[in-house]
């Protein structure tokens, strides 16, 4: 009888041990891989339900995050605006419509939609927005515009290209600025043919001049071509680097210098090619005219959920900058501040009010492209946990790629026990490799951030070491 009573007491004690406590015991501080002996690395693993830190190494030390900074911009925007939020772009007209003619200008007013014409919507016509405007104008009875097509480009477009980015990056497609009006990922393509002797540009952009200033090498199989942000004396942007002479063709993608101006140009071309005569030209205005202009078209972007999924799956810098700037639109700016700075103030306020220590965040852009960005692994895991707990449907997890399966995570953790069980954002810039996101094991979710800065050797060897750290941390 005594032994039976003891057994009941033991069973009762075991029942008091929560699943959180037993599961937490499977998370541990991993040993340091040989490849990490001469690098700086940090790790933070937390219980997503409680926020408890279960494992860490340099967890509260500021480090370079690279593209894991996109978690902060997309996560904050989804948390503050909602996953169903859409961004509006509107078409207004001044003057009046008589006999099928608009006697006045057409104004394009954007609120920062960065998705118009993006090539990442594989199943959509990139001309969808422009065709929609043309169709709606015709439905309103307009077949002629006696006036100009003007993009509204106001104070929010000041320093749209971040001054915190390096000169090497600026003018190339992955460092395109995010403006009030954006189209085609704010990028153009240069095709170099005849073994580098000829070049052509698509689309044709008014005022854009390019000049070949690259060298040639017959000992190289790959190129180092990029577009310099510093124009030549004649205003042409220089394509520099080295072209491999054995290659018949090469392509380089550049950043459109003035997307709002090109937006108006392209809409004018679309209208005239589709049967709407425009007597004026394309250009920009700093605002809508006085009075109450006619609202002719209202276009809405896909949801922020869909846009965040593209941002984090394909590490889209323009989209990430757009997410950050959504936080500052409509907010009063301090004198001399650009929209990014205003948005960062809103972001810091948002997380400070939710109890996060924002001293562990030094954020300068929305994409992580600036090498000056700093954040601690612990800040990221704490923020990801806050997002997880505040949304019972855990929507934000769904916008992150699955390890070993999606986007930039296709190879990482493939054929390991964490394949498909980790949803992470990757980050890579010079001598930096980072991962952060969520891991779900045995019905339990953890937030994870693993950073490697200033490494020697190859990125592939570092990633192998990072895989080993995560697997060992979760006792796999």
Sequential DSSP letters for 255-293? E-S-HHHHHHHHHHHHHHHTT-EE-S-EEEESSPPSS-P
Give the distance from CA 39 to its chain's centroid: 28
pLDDT of amino acid 38: 87
For tokens 């070491």, the residue is 465
Contact 117, 128 (CB under 8 A): yes
Contact 375, 432 (CB under 8 A): no
Q: How far apart are CA 159 and CA 145, in angstroms?
A: 32
pLDDT of amino acid 4: 43
Q: How far apart are CA 87 and CA 262, in angstroms?
A: 20
Backbone phi, psi, residue 289, to 5°: -70, 160
Tens of pLDDT along the chain (476 residues) come to 444 444 444 444 444 443 333 344 489 999 998 888 889 999 999 999 999 999 999 999 999 999 999 999 999 999 999 999 999 999 999 999 999 999 999 999 999 999 999 999 999 999 999 999 999 999 999 999 999 999 999 999 999 999 999 999 999 999 999 999 999 999 999 999 999 999 999 999 999 999 999 999 999 899 999 999 999 999 999 999 999 999 999 999 999 999 999 999 999 999 999 999 999 999 999 999 988 889 999 999 999 999 999 999 999 999 999 999 999 998 988 999 999 999 999 999 999 999 999 999 999 999 999 999 999 999 999 999 999 999 999 999 999 999 999 999 999 999 999 999 999 999 999 999 999 999 999 899 999 999 999 998 889 999 999 999 999 999 99
What is the overall mean pLDDT for the chain?
A: 93
Q: Which residue pairs from 95-103 have beta carbons closer than 8 angstroms and sit at least 24 positions apart in sequence?
A: 95/147, 97/140, 97/141, 97/142, 97/294, 100/141, 100/142, 100/143, 100/144, 101/142, 101/143, 101/144, 101/145, 101/146, 102/142, 102/144, 102/145, 102/146, 102/147, 103/146, 103/147
Q: What is the CA radius of gyration of the chain?
A: 26
Contact 471, 418 (CB under 8 A): yes
Q: How far apart are CA 262 and CA 258, in angstroms?
A: 6
Give how far Cα 309 sits from Cα of 90, 266, 424, Å. Answer: 25, 28, 12
Give how far Cα 59 sits from Cα of 43, 212, 219, 287, Å. Answer: 5, 47, 45, 47
The 3-state secondary structure of 112-181, one letter per residue? CCCCCCCCCCCCCCCCHHHHHHHHHHHHCCCCEEECCEEEECCHHHCCCCCCCCCCCCCCEHHHCCCCCC
Q: How far apart are CA 419 and CA 422, in angstroms?
A: 7
pLDDT of amino acid 382: 98
pLDDT of amino acid 37: 85
**Which pTM was predicted?**
0.93
Sign of the CA dihedral 329, 182, 130, 142? positive
Q: Which two tokens stand for residue 187?
A: 């990028």
pLDDT of amino acid 7: 42
Q: Tell me how crowded residue 60 is: count the other CB atoms within 10 A of its CB.
A: 15
pLDDT of amino acid 5: 45
β-bridge mates for residue 110, sequence order? 89
pLDDT tens, position by position, 252-284 = 999 999 999 999 999 999 999 999 999 999 999
Q: How far apart are CA 105 and CA 96, in angstroms?
A: 10
pLDDT of amino acid 291: 86
Contact 65, 365 (CB under 8 A): no
pLDDT tens, position by position, 411-442 = 999 999 999 999 999 999 999 999 999 999 98
Q: How far apart are CA 130 and CA 128, in angstroms?
A: 6
pLDDT of amino acid 463: 95
User: CB-based contacts of 3: which residues, under 8 Å, 6+ apart?
Assistant: none
Backbone phi, psi, residue 448, to 5°: -135, 140
Contact 459, 433 (CB under 8 A): yes
């Amino acid at each position: 009888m005594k032994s039976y009573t003891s057994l009941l007491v033991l069973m009762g004690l075991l029942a008091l041990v929560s699943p959180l406590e037993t599961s937490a015991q499977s998370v541990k501080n991993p040993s340091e891989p040989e490849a990490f002996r001469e690098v700086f690395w940090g790790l933070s693993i937390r219980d997503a339900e409680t926020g408890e830190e279960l494992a860490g190494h340099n967890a509260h030390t500021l480090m370079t995050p690279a593209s894991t900074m996109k978690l902060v911009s997309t996560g904050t925007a989804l948390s503050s605006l909602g996953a169903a939020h859409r961004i509006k772009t509107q078409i207004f007209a001044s003057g009046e419509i008589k006999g099928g003619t608009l006697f006045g200008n057409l104004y394009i007013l954007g609120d920062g939609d960065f998705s118009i014409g993006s090539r990442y919507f594989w199943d959509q016509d990139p001309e969808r927005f422009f065709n929609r405007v043309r169709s709606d104008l015709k439905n309103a009875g307009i077949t002629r515009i006696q006036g100009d097509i003007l993009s509204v480009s106001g104070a929010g477009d000041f320093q749209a290209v971040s001054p915190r980015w390096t000169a090497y990056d600026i003018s190339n497609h992955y460092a395109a600025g995010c403006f009030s009006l954006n189209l085609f990922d704010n990028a153009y393509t240069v095709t170099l043919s005849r073994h580098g002797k000829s070049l052509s540009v698509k689309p044709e952009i008014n005022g854009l001049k390019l000049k070949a200033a690259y060298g040639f090498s017959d000992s190289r199989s790959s190129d180092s071509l990029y577009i310099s942000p510093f124009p030549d004396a004649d205003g042409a942007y220089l394509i520099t680097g080295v072209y491999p002479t054995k290659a018949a063709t090469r392509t380089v993608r550049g950043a459109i210098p003035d997307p709002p101006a090109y937006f108006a140009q392209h809409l004018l071309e679309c209208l005239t090619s589709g049967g709407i005569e425009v007597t004026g030209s394309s250009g920009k205005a700093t605002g809508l005219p006085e009075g109450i202009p006619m609202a002719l078209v209202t276009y809405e972007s896909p949801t922020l959920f869909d846009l965040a999924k593209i941002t984090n799956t394909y590490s889209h810098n323009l989209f990430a900058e757009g997410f950050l700037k959504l936080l500052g639109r409509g907010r009063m700016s301090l004198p001399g501040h650009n929209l990014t700075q205003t948005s960062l103030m809103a972001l810091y306020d948002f997380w400070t009010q939710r109890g996060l220590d924002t001293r562990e965040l030094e954020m300068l852009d929305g994409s992580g492209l600036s090498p000056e960005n700093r954040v601690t692994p612990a800040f990221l895991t704490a923020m990801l946990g806050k997002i997880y707990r505040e949304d019972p449907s855990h929507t934000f997890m769904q916008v992150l790629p699955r390890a070993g399966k999606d986007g930039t995570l296709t190879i990482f953790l493939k054929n390991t026990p964490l394949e498909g069980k980790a949803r992470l954002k990757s980050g890579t810039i010079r001598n930096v490799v980072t991962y952060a996101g969520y891991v779900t094991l045995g019905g339990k979710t953890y937030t994870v951030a693993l950073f490697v800065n200033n490494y020697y050797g190859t990125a592939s060897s570092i990633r192998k070491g990072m895989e080993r750290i995560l697997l060992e941390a979760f006792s796999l």
